[in-house]
Amino acid sequence: MTEGLGAALAAAPVPGICGLVARRDGVLWQGAAGTASVQSRAFLASMSKAVTSVAALVLVQQGRLALDEPVGRWVDELAAPQVLEGFDTAGEPRLRAARVPITLRHLLTHTAGFGYPFFNEKLLHFSRLRPPRRPVALFDAGTQWEYGINTDWVAKAVASAAGLAFEDVVRQTVLEPLGMSSTGYAFPDDRLAVHARQDDGSLAAVDHQPPRNREFFQGGAGLCGSAPDYARFLRMLLGGGELEKTRVLQPEMVELLFTDQLPTIRPGLVAGPMRPVQPEITLATEIFPGMPAGWSLAGAINPAPLPTGRAAGSLSWAGIANTYFWADRSRDLAGVLLMQFYPFGDPVALATLTAFETAAYAALG
């Protein structure tokens, strides 16, 4: 019954694509089409966020970080953040001091107030006026949900608490224990085959290198890696924090990754939708069309079953170059789908993801 998985990849009109389906005890199916191979390394972009979350929770269970203490204890720049209220008649930004401290839980749930300029016109305008050297929030922590650079600040907190470079913490706490040997930050030879949608609908290659800013941008989007590697990460989550007798997280920490945290922060709070202001990078995104989205400490949580077969309470997220993952504990199934083109949310990418995931659950039976 796995023929549908290969057919979903072969039918995708993209230069290269790789997909993989796994359970906690092993890989069920893997394949590739076009210029990609199963071992191709991709720019994972925001799929990095879940890995950063796990590294942070390793330090939480060690007592070196705390979810609900002010994160300014570990990151000086977050000790006294400012909130961007708007702009005056002369076009100058109006800033005020934040009314509440930011916690690690706020950062991990994207309720700390930080955004991405390509998703927020106010922040885009501000960044063009004066690129901030200190964090500027869009609202007080805990009052709204806004997808953004929150996980990059998590990386700084992790590095500070561990007393190591962030990439070293991730390598020691996640990558090496799980045997993710082809995953990491800024491989010297990485010039990835990334494409961009053109005005005529075609896809053209663009010169792309992964972010190499070792001071800031690793936590949210810095990883490159392969589908088999990322599957090992997801299998660890399906296994309650353990893979092949190696334990990375305690079960109670894994539970936080599969539980919507937003109601505990503010009743009625949901994730999304995301409406971009730079459509060449990303199109408008409704996380789960037709239903509100939850958010755990690592990604989106669907509150009801999806038409593809994914059970309620599953964890999922994506990367801006159209890379996707999901982990479904109820049905013991995880999937990775790696494409490498912009913009995110392209209809071809979403249709391919739907076909691939549907085929994965059909194969499961």
DSSP 310: P
| Pairwise CA distance, residues 144 & 106, whole Å | 10
* Residue 46 annotated among the catalytic residues of the structure: yes
Q: Where are the alpha helices (DSSP H) in 135-250?
A: 150-162, 166-170, 176-178, 218-221, 227-238
Per the document, the length of the chain is 365
Find the catalytic residue in 147, 324, 342, 361. Answer: 147
Find the catalytic residue in 49, 53, 156, 361. Answer: 49
Which residue from 263, 253, 216, 234 is spatially nearest to 109, judged by alpha carbons? Answer: 263
Find the catalytic residue in 46, 53, 226, 296. Answer: 46
Ramachandran angles phi, psi of 77, nearest 5°:
-65, -20
* Residue 37 annotated among the catalytic residues of the structure: no
List of residues 6+ apart from 44 with CB closer than 8 A: 183, 221, 223, 224, 225, 230, 319, 323, 338
Burial (CB count <10 Å: 0-12, 13-18, 19+), residue 294: buried
Burial (CB count <10 Å: 0-12, 13-18, 19+), residue 82: middle
Q: Tell me the CA distances in angstroms from 353 to 27, 109, 209, 287, 308, one per residue in order.
A: 18, 24, 25, 13, 10
- Sheet containing strand 223-225, strands side by side: 42-43, 223-225, 184-185
Q: Tell me the CA distances in angstroms from 276 to 148, 257, 335, 343, one per residue in order.
A: 12, 26, 26, 11
| Pairwise CA distance, residues 82 & 129, whole Å | 16
Q: What is the DSSP string of 77-111?
A: GGSS-EEEEEE-TTS-EEEEE-SS--BHHHHHTT-
* Residue 49 annotated among the catalytic residues of the structure: yes
* Pair 354, 361: CB distance under 8 Å: no
| Pairwise CA distance, residues 28 & 183, whole Å | 21
Give the catalytic positions in this structure: 46, 49, 147
